Each structure stands twice: as structure tokens, then as C-alpha cells.
Amino acid sequence: MATAIIPGIASASNADKGSEPSFPGLIIREKEPVNFEFPFPMLSEAITPNNQFFIRTHFPIPKLQAKEWKMTIGGHVNKEITLTYDELRALPAKKVMATLECAGNGRANLAPKVKGLLWEQGAVGNAEWTGVPLAVLLEKAGIKEGAVEIILEGADKGEVSEEPKSPGAIHFARSLPLTKAMQAEVILAYQMNGKDLSPEHGYPVRAIIPGWYGMASVKWLTKILAVNKPFEGYWQTLEYAYWKRTDEQPTLTAVTEVQVKAEIARPALSEVIPAGKIYRVHGAAWCGESEIVKVELSFDEGKTWQPAKLLGKSVRFAWRLWEYNWEVPLGQQRHKLMSRATDSNGITQPMQHDKDRRTYMVNKIVTVEVEAQ
């Protein structure tokens, strides 16, 4: 597993935290366009620092300047409006803590090998975002009767040369049902953890769509369009889409809500741990519109499960850290650990990946094998 410090982003140092190890750098999944993963075993706190947050791009990062940036809200509205960066920041702000996960996170755990970026655990992060509720701007424009969706379009643009190929150069664009777009926590963010967005994370303005996979939180936002029929763009129907069966007829449907999931941060795969001692197993769990109510661990390949301790308070749309003090058996041997989460709707993380999900929404239980000695 190669690691690298991202050019243009300062490396983190934990020297002020005592004996904790220094941050080793993000994992390179692809250099151009930039796609870097957070090394999940480094998880130590609820908020992911900006320079540890995973980066997902489809095309080269647009070179935008706040003083020149404008955003248009149009389409099926009473009055098309255009906002400058200063005008957006002058509006009342809202802070939202939200976990973003790439829809392909965990894809490296699928077998046989699949196409796409082979994310392991770390295409996920939790941050506090500051911005203006999308609903406020839609109300200013005045949504016409009959509007059903809101399209969000970014400044990033390019041609997809691999199958399914795009019809020439296209922008990255996704849509939301009007009901989701009007949700109070859906914001147009210009800050991340109290700092202005960096280019890699969508500067100057990006959408934050809590509870949905990261592809919905469009970066480098420049255009918002209300429409009176479902959007069928490339990133809505060909990519970031899965097979949904209605009357046994599979139909490609847009990926939306995050699926319930728990991941083990430590011990890491193949870590050597002391036998006959207490080891703090810990990680994070998250889901979409619901809340995490239970995390369990298994040390016998899923035959029995032990309850982990949930840490902190439950914050809707944010992950929940958890821990379990494991009495590691005496003797040199290998152990297989599993974690699973259950949400407030009673949905528990599955053992297997549903093939109808293609290479998205990968939330199957993963085995972490370690050695005790």
C-alpha cells in the first residue's frame, strides 16, 4: 500500500498530541485525476482533519477564483437568479456535521476484481461544513409548480474514454428530488472544519447532501437547475446507478442513500498484537437518513457477536465512533475479526455484496485477519 503526501496540502503532525504517530500521508489510488484515500487505521477522532479527508475527482480540478465565481439558479423557477461568492457568504450561514462516503468505497473487497477505483476502507470522512441551505436559494428563485428535481452541476468537465463512454466532453452533474433538496441540512458549503474549502474539496463552493453518497455532493458548483421531469444524465443513469428490480424487471436506478456500515480501524489487516493482553478494537459506523444504534464484533467468523461501546452522542448524518476491549487469547495464533452495524430502522450490515448494486454501495462485512503473539 503506497502512501504519499499530497502536493499543495500540508502534511499533518501529531507532535502536539504526545506519543501519537505522525500522519503518514494519503493513499494514492490515481494521480490524474486526483483520487486519494484516507488510511483508515489512522482514525482517532470524530472530525476528519481537512488534509486527511479523502479526495475524489473525475476530471482535472477546475481553476476557479472566488472573485470571478458566479452561480446561476434557473430552470423551472419564477425568477432566475445569479449569485456571486460575496453575496452567498453574506447570507445567513448554517453548520452541518456530515459523513461523506464515496459510492465505491470498499470496492477492493469485491472478488473477482472489478472495474473502477479500488478503494479499500478510506474513501470516507466526517467534517463540519458551513454554508447556506439550498432551500433558501430555491425559495428566492421561486420553484414553479410541477418541479420534481434539482440538478446540481459542477465546473469540472471532461470526456470519459472508458466504457461507458461519454458523448464528448461533459460536466459532472447529479440531481436530487425536490423533497431532499429542501431538507434543512442540505447546504451549499464554502467552509470545511472552519476553513475555506481547498481546490481539492470543491473551492469555492460545493454542495453537501447529508445521508447520500458523496457523488451527490457536487463540487465546484456553478449551476443549479429546477426541472419538471427526472434527470437522466450520464452520472445519474450510466455511472453511479444500480439495478433495482420492480416486478422482477431490473432497471438502472440512481445511487442515493448511504447504506449501514461499520469498519474496523484498528487492529489493521495483518497487524501483530500482543497475546494475553487487552487490545482496544475501535472504528466507526455510519448510515444514511437513519441513525446507528448498535455495533457488534465477531471473533469466530460470524458465529457469535459481542456488543461494542458506542462513543459520544449520536449526530444525525455523522458517523459514530465505537470501541471494544478485547481480551486477546494466550498463545501465538491468527484471529479473524468482523464488525457489523445496525441502524434505527433495524437494518443490519450484510455478509455478502448484492450483485445488483454493481460496484457501488459496498457495505458487506469484511474480515480483518491479525496475528497474536
Q: Which range of residues forms the domain containing residue 278?
A: 261-372
How confident is residue 25, by pLDDT bands cut at 50, 70 and 90?
A: confident
Please state which of the ranges 5-9, 21-25, 95-99, 148-152 shows the lowest mean pLDDT.
5-9
Are 130 and 228 members of one domain? yes
DSSP state letter for 347: -
Are 134 and 224 members of one domain? yes
- For residue 9, pLDDT beyond 70: no
Per-residue pLDDT averaged across 84-104, rounded?
98
Q: What is the pLDDT of residue 23?
A: 56
Q: What is the pLDDT of residue 21?
A: 46
- For residue 14, pLDDT beyond 50: no
- For residue 343, pLDDT beyond 80: yes
Q: Is residue 10 part of a domain?
A: no
**Among residues 254, 289, 324, which one ends one of the domains?**
254
- For residue 154, pLDDT beyond 80: yes
Q: Is residue 185 part of a domain?
A: yes
DSSP state letter for 9: S
Per-residue pLDDT averaged across 76-97, rounded?
98
pLDDT tens across 208-252, in order? 999 999 999 999 999 999 999 999 999 999 999 999 998 888 999
**Among residues 195, 223, 254, which one ends one of the domains?**
254
- For residue 11, pLDDT beyond 70: no
| Whole-angstrom distance, CA of residue 28 vs CA of residue 37 | 6
**Among residues 230, 254, 278, which one ends one of the domains?**
254
Q: Which residues contact 126 (CB under 8 A, 6 or more apart)?
A: 46, 47, 48, 97, 98, 99, 100, 284, 286, 318, 319
Q: What is the pLDDT of residue 93?
A: 97
Report which of 348, 336, 252 is spatially closest to residue 300, judged by C-alpha positions: 336
- For residue 22, pLDDT beyond 80: no
Q: Taken in order 185, 265, 40, 114, is the CA torsion positive or negative?
A: negative
The distance in angstroms from the start CA to the end CA of the chain is 24
Q: What is the pLDDT of residue 327?
A: 98
Q: Is residue 210 part of a domain?
A: yes
Per-residue pLDDT averaged across 62-73, rounded?
98
Q: How many domains are there within the chain?
A: 2
Are 292 and 236 members of one domain? no
Contact 54, 123 (CB under 8 A): yes
Q: Is 138 helix (H, G, I), strand (E, B) or coil?
A: helix
Are 246 and 308 members of one domain? no
Q: What is the pLDDT of residue 24?
A: 64
Q: Is residue 57 part of a domain?
A: no
The CATH code of the domain that includes 233 is 3.90.420.10
Per-residue pLDDT averaged across 196-217, rounded?
98
The CATH code of the domain that includes 329 is 2.60.40.650
